[in-house]
Structures are given as C-alpha cells and as structure tokens.
Structure 1
Amino acid sequence: MTVQPDGPVLRDIHLPPAPPWWPPAPGWWLLAALVLLAIAAGALLWLGARRRRRQRDRVLAEVDVLAARHGGDTQVLAAGLHQLLRRVARKHDPAAARLRGEAWREALARVPVDADTLHRLLALEQAMFRPLPYDTDAALAAVRDWLRAALASERRRARRA
C-alpha cells in the first residue's frame, strides 16, 4: 500500500443495520401488559355493573308482576310485596326474614329512604293480615324506591369490602 502525501485512503461511513422490530424493547412489553390489565379490569367492572343492573331490573320487574297478578286483592299484593322486601333485606341483614315490629322497621331503615316511604312499607305488614284500605300505587312506588336504594347501597357496600 502506498502512502499518499495527503494521508491514508478513507472509505465511506457505513451506518449500522436498523434494529429489528421483534422482539420489542422491555418498555413496550410493560406498556402492552398495562394495556391488557386495563382492558381486563374494565371488562370485569362492566360485567359486574351489567350483572347488578340485570338483578335490579329483575327485582323491579317482580314488583310489576305482583301488581299485575294481585292488583285486585290488596291483601295478597301486600303479602307479596312484603315477602319481596324481606328477600332483598336479607342481603343487608341475614336475620331479616325473622324480624318483627321495631326490629323490622330498623332493618328497613338501614336503607337510606325518606320517612314517608318507610311508613308506607311498614303499613304493608298490617295490610297483609287486615283488610285495611291503603294506596296501592303509593305502596308500589315506595317498594320500588326502597328496592332501588337497597340494591344501590348493596353495590356501595360491596365496593368498600
């Protein structure tokens, strides 16, 4: 090799080959795992909300079925509504099916409803056994209000646990 007076012969600069697209860098793996985790958590939350919504709709539809089936017989309607209240109240207090009098009133009062609604619900207990006139539309509305509040408070309690 002959040395030229201007210096050695240099070659052109060669860039290294481009990095391969696979496997991705660890940061991309972490991002993918976080996205999958977020999708799974969102799906679980959505499924839980859908299940609770269906349960609430089934319970409220049962009120409509009772009203349609026993609309003429107020004692039987009161008994059916009272039984439905006790079934839902058992989710808040397992002993709610056996409670009477003041203990039953306290079990109903654990659900945040107004005093008028609570009074109408307590009137159902007497209407089951005595043919007392009562406003069935107001009683049905009170039962629906209490059921909505009970199922909503159950959801809040489940979130805290």
Structure 2
Amino acid sequence: MADLPDTDGKNLVEMLDMLKPVPEPAPISMWPATGGWIWLGLVLLALAVWGGWRWREHRRANAYRRAALVEIGQAGDDPARLAEILRRAALSAYPRAQVASETGADWLAFLAASCPGCDFTGEAGKALVQAPWRPLPPDPAVTRLVETWVRRHRRGEAAA
C-alpha cells in the first residue's frame, strides 16, 4: 500500500483535493466493429440503387398513362376526343402492327382482352367505335370506360 498518499491528520476537503481527475475514455469509433456490417451496408446501398432505378423505369414506362389521364380530364365527355385519346394510349402501350389496323368489333375485342374487367360490349363501347365518324352527344359513361382502360390495361402483348 505504498501508492496511497498520506492522509493522516487531513480533513475531508484536503483529501478531496488530493484526488486525481478521472481519465477520459478513448473516443468511440464510428467504424463498424465487424466486416458483416460493411457488407450489409453495401447490400442495402445496392438495393436502394436498384429500387430507385426500377421506380424510374416504371415511371418512365407509364408516362403515357399520366398524359392520357390529363387529356381525358380535358376532353369534357366528348366521345370523339376520348376515342382518339384511347387509340393513342393503345399505340403507346402495344406494338403498332397490333393496334393500328383494329377497327369496329375487333378494336373493342382487343380493348376488352387487354383490360380484365372492362366491358366494351355496352353502349359506351359502341360510342367509341362510332364517335370518330359521326357526332355523338357527350357521355360520362364513355369517359369512365376510357379512364378505366387507361388505368388498368396490361402493357405488352394483348391476347386479341
């Protein structure tokens, strides 16, 4: 016990003055302690980059849908304008050879095949076929049908 200072005859304040300050701990490193965290970070970074790329590609691939929906909002239930918007959207989503030559019942069958749940057999479907060739009164049912097709159709090859 030779390391201890002599405390004989000292009061408490004097003994407190003899204390040495507590040493500061070594700084904590922000670097991961194991290599697994580094690999996990790299994998998460790669997933974030891949997810961002996929989101951008999805957004770019569906730009025609957003543009068509804006035009549908501006068409004012006019069947002729809606038929034109629908044709342009279909030409953007499907190969031109598959869409451009379709008319009449074949066009409606193509639209129905490319959008499960869309019913083109009613008056709204007939109005889409007739509207480019003769004036028809505004019809909100045609607007709803075209908007539904633009939102829900599947891109690519439609089973016509």
Q: Is the pair's TM-score, using the shorter chain for normalization, greater than 0.5?
A: yes
State how many pairs are aligned: 125
Measured at CA, do residues 88 and 56 of structure 1 come closer, stay the same or move farther in structure 2, by a change above 3 Å?
A: closer
Are residues 1:80 and 2:77 paired?
no
Q: What displacement does 1:93 show?
A: 4.2
Matches of 2:101 and 2:134 in 1, distance apart?
A: 20
The answer (yes or no) to whether the contact 2:103–2:129 under 8 Å persists in 1 is no
Percent identical among aligned pairs is 29
Are residues 1:41 and 2:50 paired?
yes
Instruction: Report the counterpart of residue 32 of structure 1 in structure 2.
Output: 41
Instruction: Report the counterpart of residue 132 of structure 2 in structure 1.
Output: 128
Q: Letter of the aligned partner of 1:112 in structure 2?
A: P
Instruction: Report the counterpart of residue 141 of structure 2 in structure 1.
Output: 138
Query: Which protein shows a greater Rg?
Result: 2
Q: What displacement does 1:48 show?
A: 4.0
Q: Letter of the aligned partner of 1:92 in structure 2?
A: Y
Unaligned runs of 5+ in 1: 1-19, 72-76
Matches of 2:31 and 2:131 in 1, distance apart?
A: 74
Measured at CA, do residues 134 and 94 of structure 1 come closer, stay the same or move farther in structure 2, by a change above 3 Å?
A: same
Are residues 1:104 and 2:113 paired?
no
The answer (yes or no) to whether the contact 1:121–1:143 under 8 Å persists in 2 is no
Matches of 1:145 and 1:103 in 2, distance apart?
A: 19
TM-score, length-scaled by structure 2: 0.61
TM-score, length-scaled by structure 1: 0.61
Unaligned runs of 5+ in 2: 1-28
Matches of 1:89 and 1:21 in 2, distance apart?
A: 54
Measured at CA, do residues 147 and 140 of structure 1 come closer, stay the same or move farther in structure 2, by a change above 3 Å?
A: same
Matches of 2:134 and 2:32 in 1, distance apart?
A: 78
Q: What displacement does 1:22 show?
A: 6.7
